[in-house]
Amino acid sequence: MRTRLNTRFIGFCLALFALVACQKIPFTTEAEKAAVESELKNLVADLSAAWPLDSTQIASHIQDYLAIEGYKFYGCAIVELDTNALATSCAYWYRSTRRTLAYANLMDPSYNINSQSWLTLPLSQGAALWSEPYFDAGGGEIWMQTYSVPIEKDGKTVGLATTDIRVKKP
């Protein structure tokens, strides 16, 4: 009986900690969204100038970028594209805690990256775009919005960079 109570108590504490930790990430204001747009465009300019990059260089760019605004940027992805505008790699770094970054490879076949609107819409329109707010189920477990910017090199789209931010539930 005591073990069951301890297990339940520990489970309750972990759930409460996760809820409190998530709540410490503030909702993004319109001014902060404008800062995201500016900073991501700066990152894209740096990436374009240095393109092509290896995975270590991409990881370094993302980590430096996420450090700019501290915990306000939830995550960042850099997608490399082939000549048919299909993703060949995608490094995604996100906040597992307020101060800790974690890596995810979004090339998992079950995710089907090449059908994701945060990738397809900016590429088809050739422009930077905000996604509609969405609940990141199975990931951050928060309401988010993604800003995506195509990466150009010598007049060709070679990649895409994104930033995820926390937003209020619509």
Judged by average pLDDT, the poorest of 5-9, 104-108, 116-120, 153-157 is: 5-9
What percent of the chain is predicted at pLDDT more than 70?
82
Q: Determine the angle formed by the axes of helices 55-68 and 30-50, rounding to 10 degrees.
A: 150
Residue 156 lies in a domain: yes
Q: Is 14 a residue whose pLDDT tops 50?
A: no
Residue 5 lies in a domain: no
Residue 2 lies in a domain: no
Residue 91 lies in a domain: yes
Residues present in the chain in total: 170
**pLDDT recorded at residue 28:** 72
**What is the average pLDDT value for the chain, to the nearest integer?**
83
Contact between residue 161 and residue 128 where contact means Cβ atoms under 8 Å apart: no
What digits encode the pLDDT tens for the residues 116-155? 999 999 999 999 999 999 998 877 788 999 999 999 999 9
Q: Could you list the residue range(s) of the whole structural domain that residue 85 is in?
A: 27-166
Looking at the structure of the chain, the number of domains it has is: 1
For residue 93, the domain's CATH number is 3.30.450.20
**pLDDT recorded at residue 68:** 80
Residue 57 lies in a domain: yes
Residue 72 lies in a domain: yes
In three state form, how does the secondary structure of the chain look?
CHHHHHHHHHHHHHHHHHHHHHHCCCCCCHHHHHHHHHHHHHHHHHHHHHCCCCHHHHHHHHHHHHHHCHHHEEEEEEEEECCCCCEEEEEEEEECCCCCEEEEECCCCCCCHHHCHHHHHHHHHCCCEECCCEECCCCCCCEEEEEEEEEEECCEEEEEEEEEEECCCC
**pLDDT recorded at residue 69:** 64
Confidence of residue 112 (pLDDT cuts 50, 70, 90): very high
What digits encode the pLDDT tens for the residues 80-97? 999 999 999 999 998 888
Residue 8 lies in a domain: no
What digits encode the pLDDT tens for the residues 34-54? 888 999 999 999 999 999 999
Residue 123 lies in a domain: yes
